């Protein structure tokens, strides 16, 4: 009516939302949308979650939908996998993915393989989610990145969000997917606010699993990353732009299935490739990207060898100065770009 009278209505402006709040909104909306969805894990209910991702959900949905578990990853992960096989859609939270090692048999041998081994007759619609990779000052047993581990296993889908929009859209897509999905979040991103578009605020907003996003257009070199290092790549790109080097920054979003087509198209354009990740170098995500480029048509367009920027090949030290030197920094990305461009 207002538009017919010539009064223009402006679209809602993008808003700032933290990754924590984006995950909380996605969980809330999916619990409300589908009564088969439930959340379980250590301290997810009465304590509102170890990282407050599930804040307010227990009070809203009660004990049957948001369930506190004992400190027994193998036990509650097995319960969640069995519930998924029986037709429910569990979201299984690990306080950190380092603790998922206690439940690796359930994740791989039970969840990942059952659909295949049952000739498609048993679906396992489950999401395993929680913080992955290094945080701050938590040392070796709490700082490992499992993107390469889980990305190695057929039967799983593996997503790794960077922004609030990534977190919201990928979690909703993961919950609705009929396959087991591993969602690797980052503790250091939980409190970081990102601009969220009007589209991303919709209850029906999902990000397709298996599709990367070009965060910044460029012509000289392709930077490919996932999770927190995407931000480092954008910072490095901003610095390099002042020196006349335009970086194309790709946010993978999904580790498995990997959107290698987007990477290939970018390499064909820029003729240079640098991968950036927080995980260890050997058999890492960057190693897989380099191999796929080597084996595919984009290899013929490379003007220099691909370069990997990774975490140091050591268990994570506790001391902050050593920890900083073990994780990719903006300066490391800038150095790698200049190396591959020979400048």
- The residues that are catalytic are 73, 142
For the record, the structure tokens of 6 come out as: 């010539």
Instruction: Report angle CA 80, 132, 71 to the nearest 5 degrees.
Output: 45
DSSP state of 281: S
Q: CA separation (Å) from 182 to 56, 163, 271, 306? A: 24, 17, 32, 28
For the record, the structure tokens of 264 come out as: 């290939």
Contact predicate 207/253, CB 8 Å = yes
Contact predicate 42/93, CB 8 Å = yes
Please give the helix or strand (H or E) that residue 334 lies within, else none: helix 330-341
Contact predicate 180/200, CB 8 Å = no
Q: CA separation (Å) from 339 to 130, 150, 221, 223, 251? A: 35, 31, 11, 13, 22
Dihedral (Cα; 207, 212, 217, 220), 10-degree rounding: 170
For the record, the structure tokens of 149 come out as: 């581990």
For the record, the structure tokens of 332 come out as: 């490391």
Give the ranges where the chain is alpha helix by DSSP (H): 19-33, 57-61, 73-85, 104, 113-117, 147-151, 164-176, 229-241, 260-270, 285-295, 320-326, 330-341
Q: For residues 25 and 32, what is the distance between their CA atoms, to the nearest angstrom?
A: 11
> What pairing do the DSSP bridges indicate for beta strands 193-196 and 15-18?
antiparallel
């Amino acid at each position: 009516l207002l538009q017919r009278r010539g009064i223009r209505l402006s679209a809602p402006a993008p808003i700032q939302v933290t990754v924590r709040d984006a995950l909380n909104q996605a969980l809330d909306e999916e619990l409300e949308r589908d009564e088969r969805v439930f959340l379980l894990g250590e301290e997810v209910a009465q304590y509102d979650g170890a990282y407050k991702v599930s804040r307010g959900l227990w009070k809203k949905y009660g004990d049957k939908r948001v369930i506190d578990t004992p400190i027994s990853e193998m036990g509650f992960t097995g319960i969640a996998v069995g519930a998924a096989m029986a037709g429910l859609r569990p979201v299984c939270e690990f306080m950190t993915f380092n603790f998922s090692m206690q439940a690796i048999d359930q994740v791989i041998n039970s969840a990942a393989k059952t659909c295949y081994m049952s000739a498609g007759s048993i679906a396992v619609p489950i999401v395993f989610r929680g913080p992955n990779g290094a945080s701050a000052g938590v040392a070796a047993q709490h700082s490992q990145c499992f993107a390469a581990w889980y990305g190695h296993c057929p039967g799983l889908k593996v997503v790794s969000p960077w922004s609030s929009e990534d977190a919201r859209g990928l979690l909703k897509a993961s919950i609705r997917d009929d396959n087991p999905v591993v969602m690797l979040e980052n503790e250091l991103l939980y409190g970081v606010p990102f601009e969220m578009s009007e589209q991303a605020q919709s209850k029906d907003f999902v990000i397709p699993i298996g599709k990367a996003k070009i965060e910044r257009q460029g012509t000289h070199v392709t930077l490919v990353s996932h999770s927190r290092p995407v931000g480092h790549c954008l910072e490095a790109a901003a610095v390099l732009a002042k020196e006349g080097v335009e970086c194309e920054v790709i946010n993978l979003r999904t580790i498995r299935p990997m959107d290698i087509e987007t990477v290939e198209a970018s390499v064909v354009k820029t003729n240079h490739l640098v991968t950036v990740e927080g995980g260890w170098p050997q058999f890492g995500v960057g190693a897989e990207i380099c191999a796929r480029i080597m084996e595919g048509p984009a290899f013929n367009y490379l003007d220099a060898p691909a370069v990997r920027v990774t975490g140091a090949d050591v268990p994570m030290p506790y001391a902050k100065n050593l920890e900083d030197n073990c994780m990719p920094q903006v300066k490391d990305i800038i150095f790698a770009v200049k190396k591959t461009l020979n400048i």
